[in-house]
Amino acid sequence: MTAAALAARPRAALRLSKTRSILLLSAVAVLLYVPANGHLTLPLDTQAPLFIALNSFRDWMIANRTAWFFVFFFTPVREGTAGLVDFVTGWLTTLGWVGIAAIAGALGLVFVTWRTGVAVAGALVLVGLLGVWDATMVTLGQMIVAVALSLVIGIPIGIWAGRSDRVQRAVTPLLDLMQIMPTYAYLVPLVLLFFIGNGTATIATMIYAIPPAIRLTALGIRGVPAETVEAASSLGSTGWQVLRKVQIPMARSTIGLAVNQTIMMALSMVVITAFVGAGGLGEVLLKALEIQDVGGSFDAGVAIVLLAMVLDRLTASASQTSDRRRPGADRVSVADRRQIRAAGLVIAIVGIGLGVTQSWAHVFPSDYSLSFADPVNALVSWLEANAVWLTSGLKDVASSWLLDPLQQVLTAAPFWLVVGYAAALALIVSGRRAATVAAIAGLAIAALGVWRPAMETLTQVLFGVLIAMVVGVAVGTWAARSSLVSQIVRPINDALQTMPAFVYLIPALALFGPTRFTAVVAAVIYAIPAVTRLVEDGVRGVSVTAIESATSSGSTAFQVIRKVQLPMARRSLLAGLNQGVVLVLAMVVVGGLVGGQALGYHVVQGLAQASDFGIGLSAALAIVLLGVVLDRITQGAGARREVKRIEDE
């Protein structure tokens, strides 16, 4: 009898509360663990038939590049994309650094404010000073192509999904899956189809960047009040007229947000796609990470953050000014506006002229440089010498008290017990469907032959989520109760959330060296902002009356938090947990690169070495499946949100 059945029976018979059911389930699991531990633990066998079969499949694919599906689909798609990227990058190089900085500055001036113009131009000059101008242009070219194609594909689909419930229903599960799927996971299968190269990197970026384009566009179209659409129809508009004259103009600022989000998502792929041949800043950062050159990766990381800032500033406000009747918009008169536009045009043309003709304005002069590499490396050495008692103390305590025992238990447990426990937990928390999915996904991980690394990854995820939740709930609650704290935390959160994930590895690596703990720390830093924000919003949403009535009956502040605010914000806490799990998993597998071992390590190896391809692909699939299991179990809150949405409709 499985643990799932055991858990289901008392639940039905006795109608236990969820907490009690979980405790009972855990007790049963412990009882089963004692006699069964050590059996059926599925250790990793690198020569498993599945891996060998996958390797030969890869060889077969490579040998058959002339097969029709390559010739007529994959190859032209890849070559077309790569050609486009080369074309754009070529132009960026032709314009010279002065040309690019002038264009960016002019865009900032015309569409936002002169201050933004100066800031973005300055940021680009800074990028040049960091000595990574050429790499930045390679990355920028790829971003431009990936974002443009993502929008060309995503916006029409989004519009369609916004206008048709059926299309919306069809694409939603797909988008959900793409959202929880760690990007790392689809690189391996992608390489199988498209091979390594900047075309593949661009396609990988698009897979990640298209969902928000679709989702936000659909949201914008759906946000147009039904009555306004009806008013247009009632006057005899055709469907096309309604779309063009009503829905698109009224959804414009949300579609602007879609553009902005698409860019940010694409940027967050800069480093990861370096695994499949993206080149550019990602490659610089990755190479430095691989040799633990923290200072070198720091420069590239700063350049990525600067590039993100430039693109974010330019597009975030472009989407706002397009709503031409914002309060501030009237302050600039039409005549002024024309002058500003003329000035922008002049700046851009002069800049391009210089960049194309003058050699100092074309190639960034190498005499000037502002590398952080040396001071950062010095700092790292200093830390290694002087703070080692703190960092390694922290690391050792966490490892020997939490990570090791947990990993010990998970890897020694028979796989059926873990799968059964997960499924039963899903049943209790999120219902029967979630339990079925969790059980199937769990068994599939076992079948893929990567059970043991999956348990190692799970260990890191559980630990990371625990820390992220403790910190997130504490900070979120505090911020919700004190507007001063909130004012401090919000901008930090904003900044952290716009930063590409890989950047988080750098400080973690500097402090803790290449270990499993580093991956977890990076994952925790990555997940905390989202958790904090959800908790803060949830606690803030608790009705004032409930708090007042608790206070007036003499509760202490701590009692108010524990008995009123947190229970009433339960839904947000669960949503925070769900987000935390998804984000921690995404980052933990990336940590495979810096000594994180487990599934992430095998993915990196699979990308790097032909003989490890089979394990890499299995590990990648296992990451997705692990994500599905964890998402299902923690989805209780999300599921209820679904129901409510349907009711609202």
* Binding positions for another protein, rule: CB under 8 A: 225, 227-228, 230-238, 241, 245-246, 249-250, 252, 323, 325
Return phi, psi of residue 323, to 5°: -85, 90
Tokens of 548: 């007042």
Of 227 and 374, which has the nearer Cβ to another protein?
Answer: 227
For residue 238, the minimal CB distance to another protein (Å) is: 7
For residue 325, the minimal CB distance to another protein (Å) is: 6
For residue 216, the minimal CB distance to another protein (Å) is: 18
Of 159 and 489, which has the nearer Cβ to another protein?
Answer: 159
Of 234 and 333, which has the nearer Cβ to another protein?
Answer: 234
| 270 SS3 class | coil
Q: What's CA 303's distance to the chain center, in Å?
A: 19
Contact 217, 159 (CB under 8 A): yes
Of 235 and 385, which has the nearer Cβ to another protein?
Answer: 235
Please, what is the angle between helix 388-398 and helix 516-540, to 10°? 80
Which residues does 376 contact at the CB level (< 8 Å), separation at least 6? 294, 295, 298, 510
For residue 261, the minimal CB distance to another protein (Å) is: 22
* ∠ Cα 472 269 73 (to 5°): 140
Distance CA 513, CA 293 (A): 11
Of 15 and 324, which has the nearer Cβ to another protein?
Answer: 324
Distance CA 587, CA 496 (A): 14
Of 27 and 329, which has the nearer Cβ to another protein?
Answer: 329
For residue 229, the minimal CB distance to another protein (Å) is: 8
Q: In angstroms, what is the C-alpha Rg of the chain?
A: 26
For residue 487, the minimal CB distance to another protein (Å) is: 30
Of 324 and 645, which has the nearer Cβ to another protein?
Answer: 324
* ∠ Cα 532 524 621 (to 5°): 115
| Segments of 99-224 assigned E as strands | none
Of 240 and 558, which has the nearer Cβ to another protein?
Answer: 240
For residue 91, the minimal CB distance to another protein (Å) is: 34
Largest interatomic CA distance in the chain: 83
For residue 225, the minimal CB distance to another protein (Å) is: 7
Of 3 and 232, which has the nearer Cβ to another protein?
Answer: 232
Distance CA 256, CA 216 (A): 9
Distance CA 519, CA 603 (A): 15
Of 232 and 294, which has the nearer Cβ to another protein?
Answer: 232
For residue 197, the minimal CB distance to another protein (Å) is: 43
Of 367 and 648, which has the nearer Cβ to another protein?
Answer: 648
For residue 258, the minimal CB distance to another protein (Å) is: 18
Tokens of 285: 């950062």
Centre a 10 Å sphere on the Cβ of residue 212 and count the other Cβ atoms it contains. Answer: 26
Q: Which residues of 564-573 are buried (b: 16+ CB within 10 A; e: fewer)?
A: bbbebbebbb
* Nearest residue to 578 via CA among 363, 430, 437: 430
Return phi, psi of residue 151, to 5°: -70, -40
Residue 596 carries which DSSP code? -
Distance CA 13, CA 646 (A): 30
Contact 573, 465 (CB under 8 A): no
Of 165 and 404, which has the nearer Cβ to another protein?
Answer: 165
Distance CA 122, CA 124 (A): 5
Q: Which helix (H) or strand (E) holds 144?
A: helix 133-163
CA distances from 440 to 306, 445, 447, 636 (A): 43, 9, 10, 18
For residue 76, the minimal CB distance to another protein (Å) is: 39
Distance CA 37, CA 27 (A): 15
For residue 116, the minimal CB distance to another protein (Å) is: 24
For residue 646, the minimal CB distance to another protein (Å) is: 12
- Of the chain, the end-to-end C-alpha distance in Å amounts to 42
Of 374 and 649, which has the nearer Cβ to another protein?
Answer: 649
* Nearest residue to 508 via CA among 528, 493, 490, 489: 528
Alpha helices in 358-482 (DSSP H): 359-362, 373-386, 388-398, 404-412, 415-430, 432-447, 451-481
Of 15 and 331, which has the nearer Cβ to another protein?
Answer: 331
For residue 644, the minimal CB distance to another protein (Å) is: 18
